[in-house]
């Protein structure tokens, strides 16, 4: 389960952010995860609850938002959403595309008590 390593890295960021904002307790976080990461929300929640135990984020509520996959066609110089795992340009059928979103893992917000 790569969810555990994802959440371990995220917890480090949460702890750093909490410290920077002088939070003594983290009550909730929102994480944006690209669809290409293919994470299972239930696993993410389980991994987070396990990893966050006895840390500043113990018991914090986790909100997960997914980021859709978009590609950029080098020929048309345009961006398109990816529908049904098709990685070609919908206008010109070019394979000369770049994935521009869908791989990210972003800590979008953090709530807590000072």
Would you tell me which residues interact with Zn ion (CB under 5 A)? 73, 75-76, 89, 91-92, 94
Instruction: Specify the residue, 40 or 92, whose C-beta has the smaller distance to Zn ion.
Output: 92
Sheet holding 97-101, edge to edge: 78-81, 70-73, 97-101
- What six digits make up the tokens of 89? 């340009």
Instruction: Specify the residue, 102 or 112, whose C-beta has the smaller distance to Zn ion.
Output: 102
- Taking the complex as a whole, the smallest distance from the CB of residue 98 to Zn ion amounts, in Å, to 11
- Taking the complex as a whole, the smallest distance from the CB of residue 94 to Zn ion amounts, in Å, to 5
- Taking the complex as a whole, the smallest distance from the CB of residue 47 to Zn ion amounts, in Å, to 38
Instruction: Specify the residue, 93 or 104, whose C-beta has the smaller distance to Zn ion.
Output: 93
């Amino acid at each position: 389960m790569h969810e555990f390593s994802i959440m371990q890295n995220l917890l480090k960021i949460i702890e750093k952010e909490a410290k920077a904002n002088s939070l003594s307790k983290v009550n909730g976080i929102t994480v944006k995860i690209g669809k290409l990461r293919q994470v299972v929300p239930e696993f993410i929640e389980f991994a987070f609850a396990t990893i966050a135990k006895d840390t500043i984020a113990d018991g914090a509520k986790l909100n997960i938002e997914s980021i859709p996959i978009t590609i950029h066609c080098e020929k048309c110089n345009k961006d398109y959403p990816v529908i049904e795992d098709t990685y070609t340009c919908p206008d010109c059928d070019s394979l000369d595309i770049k994935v521009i979103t869908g791989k990210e893992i972003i800590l979008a917000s953090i709530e807590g008590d000072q």
